[in-house]
Amino acid sequence: MTKLILSDIKKTYRLGNETMPAVNGVSLRFRQNEFVSILGPSGCGKTTFLNVIGGLDQYDSGDLIINGLSTKKFKNADWDAYRNRSIGFVFQNYNLISHQSVLHNVEISMTLSGVSVSERRRRAIEALKAVGLVDQLKKKPAQMSGGQMQRVAIARALVNNPDIILADEPTGALDSHTSEQVMEILKEISKTRLVIMVTHNSELAEKYSSRIIRMLDGEIQSDSNPLAEDKSEAKPEEDKSEAKPESVNSKAKRLRKTSMSMVTAASLSYKNLLTKRGRTLITSFAGSIGIIGVALVLALSSGLSAYMETMQSDTLAGFPITITRTTQTLQVEPRDGNGNLLGAGDDEGKFPNDNLIYNYDSQVSTRQHTNNLTADYLDYISALPDSVEDAVNNISYTRGVGMNVLAKGSETVVQYSSAVRNDDSFQSQAGAMMGGGSDAYWQEMPDNHEYILSLYDLIGEGSRMPENKNEILLVVNEYNQIEKSFFEKLGITSGENYQMNDFIGKQLLTVVPNDEYYIRDGELFTSATGSDYEKLFDGENGVHLTVSGILRIKEDAATNYFSEGFVYTPELTNHIVLSAQQSEIALAQIDSDKNVITDVPFADNAAKEQQLLLFGADTTPTGISIYPKNFESKEQIKEYLDVYNVNKPDEEQIIYTDMAEMITSVTGTLLDTVSYVLIGFAAISLLVSTIMIAIITYVSVIERTKEIGVLRAVGARKKDISRVFNAETMIIGLTAGMFGVGLTYLLSIPINIVIERLVGISSLALLNPGHAIILILGSIALTLIAGFIPSRMAAEKDPVEALRTE
Ligand code: ADP
Ligand code: MG
């Protein structure tokens, strides 16, 4: 039975202009099973001949017919499959992969032919049993003798159950005793397969082989046992395996394409990297430096911008957008005596071209605008769309209602605050202008406790937030101080220092309802005086206020929201507004053009309105303060407020004041610029480490050239070779990325300690986990790119040359 037919095979090497025929028209026929020895002097073309048969090298002309299948039209993938399934190579220098165990060396060709792991192991052990090495599975090639290594190589050649074993001087490096052992094994194999062995040891050839072919200068000189042409033999078919379904033809099935899985590639590379642990670690560490650079910049800049955000929010807490009943619009452009702009338009008149020098009135003229806070507008503010609502920290309303507050700080009860003062101080007038609630040491707190506690700490034993309208808070400054006049106002004049528990839990104030505070006397009302205070303070209709806690500004809060003194709940205001609205004095004031207490006619309508507000007859808010979260959200809110004014006549427009106008977003831009510069520097280090990884991969390709040759010899495709190296760079990239991210987290600890010492900002550098993952993926991508050219070079290596390297 004919296994293999060579017809007029020629292979010529070209060196410059010279041509070197290495195989010069060889025609031979081989049996299904025989032991053929090829003998001939060095350089006669034996290795070339064997490589051509094995598909490692391609013939120039002629034909090679395997199992009746012509290889003339074979493509690369067909040759790969042919090597993997039909051929087993045994080399003089064994060509084992040094970083793989004996077992894995034998398994390697099966990893390309899609054999399951357990089947692979079973067959590898079986093949090793056949060569008598079953007890050496875990050894590395370097730990074995030459004869043992050659037996491993034979086991590797056998394991895929090939038709043909090709052995190129398999005993060339062995002593005579070991050589005989190897020959015995090959002879045994030749009982079931075709074994073609190249040797220059004619003694061994004659002793063991069944057929001796002598070669000289690329031609066949003699053949001891030629196979005659079989007349009945069918003409060779050409390979049409691609067009044929696999089950139809056994030859097509035999040549099923090889491919290496990514897992195999990764495990090959992983094992290789393990053999050079030190270098891999150093490479990964060097690669991680770029990653660390970028990661630290990201950590710092995101930490810094988070910090800026809270700082902005804190700053803005003190600078709300305010809407008050009257606003003054400043006009700072030069104007003439009549208040007209010099230069008719906005920009017109600027940078004039004429030869005149103008004079202008430096007096800044102001315009007053009255904001009519209609129910419509209040609805507009309370019905914020979600996006704007998210931009708001807090909205507080100022109510005009005056509260009649009595205090019992010491023995005697004194007046703490009132709608109409007995001393008629300017304070209350000014307070009324701003919205009556903003009396000295007497402010309303926002509804949002969380917001307050983001700016203030509760200090003192038992200190807590108010739970109902009967509870108030005391606010001290960062030195735990309150101005002297506050204590005087409370009627405390004795001691110098006060205990916190003199306040916490103590009922110190009472808000007296209008109807008890103002007594009707005919047309007019008289307000309570000092002698009535004691009774009113304890009276059951008053709202008795207990201090539930003490607030102190947080160390890192940028601004105050409250000034010193007492703050009360919006619930208290609501309660007082409701009772004041129904009070006799409020109702009486509505019907009168004179002040119902002083009997003095109001100078103008505005003065009456103020009085109505104070008595609670008019309950519309006198002011609105909107506290944005940051500069961006402030712009959002302003946009929303501007929309209200669109297409409204001047007098219906609501003009707000932006208290924080002067604080611009320059800081944000500066931060961005600094980040970009730093990222630029980090990117350079990333580039350097990428180039370094490319070089390391290149070195690895050079080092693993022989492995490339072995892989190709057992049927690996070019693609599989590049996979092996891509897997290697990916592993390095992954390690570098994880190193980088891990080290960044570690480095953040001392960096944060130093930053905290220097500028007092805690945990500023914090790498966001999302960024960490992106960086690791980025590191893998970069090393893959870096390894791309070296791994392509590896894939393109000529297998014959690759095997020849040491
Ligand atoms: P053998 O194995 O019989 O010693 P080879 O097949 O290795 O001989 O070489 C046959 C001839 O072809 C020699 O003259 C050798 O120099 C030449 N040759 C082999 N490989 C190459 C190559 N890759 N490029 C050029 N010449 C080659
Ligand atoms: Mg040779």
Two tokens, residue 400: 């005009």
Per DSSP bridges, beta strands 565-568 and 366-370 are: unpaired
Residues 715 and 55: their CA atoms lie apart, in Å, by 9
Output phi, psi for 15, to 5 deg: -120, 100
Local confidence band at 238 (pLDDT 50, 70, 90 cut-offs):
low
Per DSSP bridges, beta strands 442-444 and 565-568 are: parallel
Local confidence band at 298 (pLDDT 50, 70, 90 cut-offs):
confident
For residues 191-201, one letter each, b for 16 or more C-beta atoms within 10 angstroms of the residue's C-beta and e for the rest, the string is eebbbbbbbbb
Instruction: Return the residue whose CA atom lies nearest to atom 25 of ligand 1.
Output: 13
Instruction: Return the residue whose CA atom lies nearest to atom 20 of ligand 1.
Output: 48
- The CA 49 to ligand 1 mean position distance, Å, reads 10
Output 343 or 543, whichever has higher pLDDT: 543
- The CA 43 to ligand 1 mean position distance, Å, reads 6
Q: Pick from 174-183, 387-396, 482-491, 661-670 the range whose average pLDDT is largest.
A: 174-183
Nearest ligand (C-alpha, residue 215): 1
Instruction: Return the residue whose CA atom lies nearest to atom 26 of ligand 1.
Output: 13
Nearest ligand (C-alpha, residue 19): 1
Q: Which atom of ligand 1 is nearest to the CA of 15?
A: 25
Residues 766 and 297: their CA atoms lie apart, in Å, by 10
Mean of pLDDT over the chain: 83
Nearest ligand (C-alpha, residue 53): 1
Percent of residues in the chain assigned helix, strand, coil, to nearest 5: 45, 20, 35
Nearest ligand (C-alpha, residue 12): 1
Residue 394 has pLDDT above 80, yes or no: yes
pLDDT tens-digit map of 601-631: 988 887 888 888 888 888 888 888 888 887 7
Ligand 1, CB cutoff 6 Å, lining residues: 13, 15, 20, 22, 40, 42-48
- The CA 6 to ligand 1 mean position distance, Å, reads 19
Residue 393's pLDDT is 82
Q: Which atom of ligand 1 is nearest to the CA of 215?
A: 3
Residue 423's pLDDT is 36
Residues 595 and 523: their CA atoms lie apart, in Å, by 10
Residue 288's pLDDT is 87
Contacts 24+ apart (CB under 8 A), 308-313: 308/667, 308/668, 308/671, 309/629, 309/630, 311/558, 312/629, 312/630, 312/631, 313/393, 313/629, 313/630
Task: Categorise residue 374: left if φ over 0, alpha if ψ from -120 to 50, beta otherwise.
Answer: beta
Average pLDDT over residues 20-29: 92
Average pLDDT over residues 89-115: 87
Instruction: Return the residue whose CA atom lies nearest to atom 14 of ligand 1.
Output: 43
Partners of residue 527 on adjacent β-strands? 518
- The CA 47 to ligand 2 mean position distance, Å, reads 4
Residue 380: count other Cβ atoms within 10 Å of its Cβ.
15
Nearest ligand (C-alpha, residue 46): 1
- The CA 10 to ligand 1 mean position distance, Å, reads 13
Ligand 1 mutation target, pool 9, 48, 52, 797, most atoms within 8 A of CB: 48
- The CA 522 to ligand 1 mean position distance, Å, reads 133
Instruction: Return the residue whose CA atom lies nearest to atom 15 of ligand 1.
Output: 43
* Residue 679: Cβ-neighbour burial (10 angstroms; 0-12, 13-18, 19+): middle
Residue 364 has pLDDT above 60, yes or no: no
Average pLDDT over residues 214-242: 75
Percent of the chain with pLDDT over 70: 86
Residue 346's pLDDT is 52
- The CA 199 to ligand 2 mean position distance, Å, reads 8
Residue 720 has pLDDT above 90, yes or no: no
Local confidence band at 241 (pLDDT 50, 70, 90 cut-offs):
very low
Ligand 1 mutation target, pool 9, 12, 13, 215, most atoms within 8 A of CB: 13
Output 681 or 175, whichever has higher pLDDT: 175
Residue 197 has pLDDT above 80, yes or no: yes
- The CA 22 to ligand 1 mean position distance, Å, reads 6
Instruction: Return the residue whose CA atom lies nearest to atom 7 of ligand 1.
Output: 47
Nearest ligand (C-alpha, residue 218): 1
Residue 99's pLDDT is 85
Q: Which atom of ligand 1 is nearest to the CA of 41?
A: 3
Residue 585: count other Cβ atoms within 10 Å of its Cβ.
26
**Per-residue DSSP letter, 553:** E
The C-alpha angle with vertex 336 and arms to 331 and 339, in degrees rounded to 5, equals 50
98-102, 418-422, 443-447, 704-708, range with the lowest pLDDT: 418-422
Output phi, psi for 635, to 5 deg: -65, -40
Instruction: Return the residue whose CA atom lies nearest to atom 6 of ligand 1.
Output: 45
8 A C-beta contact, residue 472 and residue 509: yes
Residues 374 and 180: their CA atoms lie apart, in Å, by 112
Instruction: Return the residue whose CA atom lies nearest to atom 1 of ligand 1.
Output: 43
Residue 107 has pLDDT above 80, yes or no: yes
Residue 248 has pLDDT above 60, yes or no: no
Percent of the chain with pLDDT over 90: 33
Average pLDDT over residues 556-583: 86
Average pLDDT over residues 274-297: 84
- The CA 25 to ligand 1 mean position distance, Å, reads 16
- The CA 70 to ligand 1 mean position distance, Å, reads 25
Q: Which atom of ligand 1 is nearest to the CA of 51?
A: 6
Residue 661's pLDDT is 62
Residue 101 has pLDDT above 60, yes or no: yes
- The CA 797 to ligand 1 mean position distance, Å, reads 18
- The CA 802 to ligand 1 mean position distance, Å, reads 14
Ligand 1 mutation target, pool 19, 20, 46, most atoms within 8 A of CB: 20
